[in-house]
Amino acid sequence: MAPQHHRTSVSRLLITATAIAGLAALTACSGPAGEIDENYGFVVAEQNPDSEITIWADATRQPAVEAFQKAHPEVKVNLVVDDGSANGSATLQTKIALADQAGEGWPDVAFSTQTNDASWAAKETNGVQAFAAPLDKGYFDEDFLSGFTPGALDPVTIDDTVYGLRNDLAPVLFWYNKTLLDEFGYDVPTTWEEYQELGDKLASDHPDYFLGTVGDSFAGPYVFYWSGEAPIYQVDGDTFHSDTSDANSMKVTEMLDHMVANGTLTQDSVFGADFVAKADHLVAIPGPAWYSGALFQNPDSVNAAAGQWGAANPLTWENGGDVTGNVGGGMWYASSHSKNLEAVKTFLEFIVSDPSTAGTGGLPAYQSAADAWLSDQASSGFYDGDFAGAVSTAAGSVWNGWGYPNFSPETSWTKIIIPGIASGKTIKELSADWQKEMQNEAQAQGYTIG
């Protein structure tokens, strides 16, 4: 058997060598093939107008997708429900990276609750064509795109190219419980200072009643710090800036600590069972426009009665500008790898602009749908006060000091602040760590710290 032995060891070597050589060759030559299609402005996969389109979206978007299926039975849809990248989980980014490696498995349409995904989705990675298709280079009609509320597409506009469509605008308003305020004899606050005073009065006169929560990853950064013009999440080119000890940051921190201490800000998530259980003790809450559908008109959440709740202009700081924060407002992306771009276009146009479902419970980003939604809300009289006026004011006053870098401030808030305050620390004690964490994340993503 001796010759055989010899042969196997040689062939074994050969197999290994060929395999490694094969690997090297393959890694070296994986790049996009094909030419840029003039009608679309990017390299288009071979089209098949009958093929099913796969949509990745969160559960909140499901009813709207189903409405589309009813309206357009000719388009075959496969909806895959995920977490919508909530809390900065980067689900979409990691799943797309996996698909990029596999060379297949991309969805045709993807939804994200985050506004910053274009920062990676518009870029080619490791030789694979950027996931997000450019939309204004021929793919979508200029007429359609110009129907968005001015500024709505800013987060997905990179180098003057639009890479996604905005689902809803999510400026922070001040939501208040008219019934409770009247019962207790309080006025609706208009400034953050008055909001804090209201907290003091509630804490002493009506304990167990509360004014919101800091338990959601988005609530802290976007609702409170963004509104306070706190310079903690700023981008200038490749430079990231964060300063939690700035005077604007400090005033927000102090207010939050004060109100967490007296119990008027809770640590529950607005989506949690604990929050829902005490929702009848909620006196007011600053929050985004989509709280309308997510909380007040949701039978499984606050489930407000008509006329019970109202929305007022965003709170402002006495020494600050008339500005507010913003909590997402999801984004839809068309895949540049899609085999059925026409169906994708039909879907996206419907989902962002159809007056019956656009906005998915929030303020539609598409102007005509927004007008319809606002006038519906006004004519139904569901909300107390000048609802449309408050929403429009808020939408026009989102502070433009924050950027859209390739990471979310939510991950550091959940990592540092939420467990920290749960164990009894104050945000003030934690804020240096929070800032450090954001800066570290920025550096890991390739930003310089300034």
Partner 1 sequence: MGVAFVTPYTLFLLAFGALPTLYAIYLAFTKNNAFVGLDNFVRVVQDYRFMPAVGHVGLYLIVWLISLIVLVVLLALAVHGVRSRRLSTSVRFIYYIPGALAGASSVLLWLFVLDPSVSPVSGLLNLLGSDSFVNTIQIDRLPVVLAIIAFWTGAGGWIVIMYGALNNIPNEVMEAARIDGAGPIKTALFVQIPLLRKWISYMVILSLAAGTQLFVEPRVLSQASRGVVPQDYSLNQLAFLFAFKQNDFNGSAAISLLLLVVALGLSVFFVFRGGLFERD
Partner 2 sequence: MDPGRWLGRALIWVVMAAFVVFFALPIVWLLLAPTKTLRQLLLDGPFTVGSFDGLLQNWMDLTSYQNGLIWTWLGNSAMYSGLALIVTLAISIPAGYALALTDFRGRRTLLATTLVVMLIPNTALVLPIFLELSAVRLVGSPLSVILPFSFFPFGVYLTYIYFSTAVSRDLLDAARIDGASELRVFTRVAMPLATPVIALVGFFSFTGNWNNYFLPFVMVPGRKAPIQVGLAELLSNVPQFNPTNAASTTIDLPALALGTLFSVAPVLIIFLFSQRFLVTGMTAGGTKE
Q: Which of residues 16, 101, 245, 356 is near partner 2 by CB under 8 A?
A: 101
The nearer residue to partner 1, 27 or 69, going by C-beta atoms, is 27
Q: Which of 33, 35, 102, 379 binds partner 2 (CB under 8 A)?
A: 102
Out of 42, 44, 53, 82, name the contact with partner 2 by CB under 8 A: 82
Binding residue for partner 2, selected from 14, 80, 305, 306, defined by CB under 8 A: 80
Q: How far is the CB of 90 from partner 1 (least distance, A)?
A: 6
User: In terms of DSSP bridges, do strands 172-177 and 157-158 run parallel, antiparallel, or are they unpaired?
Assistant: unpaired
d(CA 266, CA 257): 11
Nearest to 256 by CA among 322, 346, 192, 349: 192
How many whole angstroms separate alpha carbon 422 and alpha carbon 238? 34
Task: Identify what 62 binds: partner 2, partner 1, none; CB under 5 to 8 Å per kind.
Answer: partner 2
Which of partner 2, partner 1, none does 361 bind, CB closer than 5 to 8 A by kind? partner 2
Using the contact rule CB under 8 A, the part of the chain among 3-11, 52-60, 194-202, 315-323 near partner 1 is 3-11
- Out of 273, 299, 300, 379, the only residue in the binding site for partner 1 (CB under 8 A) is 273
In the list 51, 267, 301, 346, the residue contacting partner 1 (rule: CB under 8 A) is 267
d(CA 167, CA 7): 65
Instruction: Return the half-sphere exposure (C-beta side, CA atoms, 13 A cut-off) of residue 317.
Output: 21
CB 329 within 8 A of CB 366: no
Spatial distance between the Cα atoms of 184 and 142, rounded to a whole number of angstroms: 52
Taking the least distance from each CB to partner 2, the nearer of 20 and 36 is: 20
Q: Which of 3, 26, 38, 423: binder of partner 1 (CB under 8 A)?
A: 423
Q: Is 368 in the site for partner 1 (CB under 8 A)?
A: no
Distance CA 285, CA 271 (A): 14
Judged by CB under 8 A, which of 299, 379, 423, 424 binds partner 2? Answer: 299
Give the residue with the Cβ less far from partner 1, 88 or 314.
Answer: 88
Triad 443, 445, 449: Cα angle to 5°: 30
The nearest distance, CB 216 to partner 2, in angstroms, is 7
Alpha-carbon distances, residue 345 vs 109, 120, 287, 338 (angstroms): 10, 22, 32, 11
> Rounded distance, CA 432 to CA 250, Å?
11
Is 447 buried (19+), middle (13-18) or exposed (0-12) by CB count in 10 A?
buried
Please report, as ranges, the residues that interact with partner 2 according to CB under 8 A.
1, 5, 8-9, 22-23, 26-27, 58-63, 79-84, 86-87, 91, 95, 98-99, 101-105, 216, 269-273, 293-295, 298-301, 361
Please report, as ranges, the residues that interact with partner 1 according to CB under 8 A.
1, 4-5, 8, 12, 15-16, 19-20, 23-24, 27-28, 83, 86-90, 93-94, 97-98, 125-126, 216-217, 267, 269, 273-274, 410-411, 414-415, 418-419, 422-423, 440, 443-445
